[in-house]
Amino acid sequence: MSVNTPTAEMAGASPQRQRAKQGVPWGRIAAWTAMGVLLVLTLFPFFWMLRTALSTNADLVSGNQSLRPPGATLLNVKQVLGLASQEEITKAGTATSANINFFVALRNSVIVCTLITLGQVIFCSMAAYAFARLRFPGRDKLFFAYLTALMIPPIFTLIPNFVLIKNLG
């Protein structure tokens, strides 16, 4: 419906505009494609973890790397949760890992991760406040040393810690 009457134009109504035809939005298509590829790359390790959990030990040892496990089974999940019977475990050949206490390990992991996260947030907040608000001698050199330490890859600090713990027994 077109509004071209003199009364409508005088009242401030503009004539309807035609939308300009645009070409194919290649930039938007490329952005969505890149996000899709990144999504697949991000989620693939979780898919592989699930695939491995549903595989039998024989399938894992055989080296079959198909995306679908050939002999999918829930025995591994049942064993970890403590729901598998001893004869199922023996029949599958995984008797060496029969007494897994999953929920105790999960509880310990949650406690350790929570304490580490809380400690990091508290102490890093205090350090950030000190560097941002307080002026003290050597502040810039200390901040430079802190930033330099952040640039060291964690594997370089992990090896000496491993050797130390090993030597401590």
24: helix, strand or coil: coil
Tell whether the model's pLDDT for residue 1 goes beyond 60: no
pLDDT of residue 49: 93
pLDDT of residue 139: 93
Mean of pLDDT values over 142-154: 90
pLDDT of residue 150: 86
| Selection from 76, 41, 79, 45 nearest residue 60 by Cα | 76
pLDDT of residue 142: 93
169: helix, strand or coil: coil
The tens digit of pLDDT for each residue in 42-99 reads 999 999 999 988 888 778 788 778 888 877 888 888 888 878 788 887 777 776 665 6
What is the C-alpha separation between 68 and 118, in angstroms, rounded? Answer: 40
- Characterize 82-96 residue by residue with b for buried, 16 or more Cβ atoms within 10 angstroms of its Cβ, and e for exposed: eebeeeebeebebee
The tens digit of pLDDT for each residue in 99-137 reads 678 889 999 999 999 999 999 999 999 999 999 999 999
Tell whether the model's pLDDT for residue 27 goes beyond 90: yes
Top pLDDT among 14 and 134 is at: 134
Tell whether the model's pLDDT for residue 154 goes beyond 60: yes
Top pLDDT among 64 and 138 is at: 138
* pTM for the structure as a whole: 0.54
pLDDT of residue 22: 80
Tell whether the model's pLDDT for residue 10 goes beyond 70: no
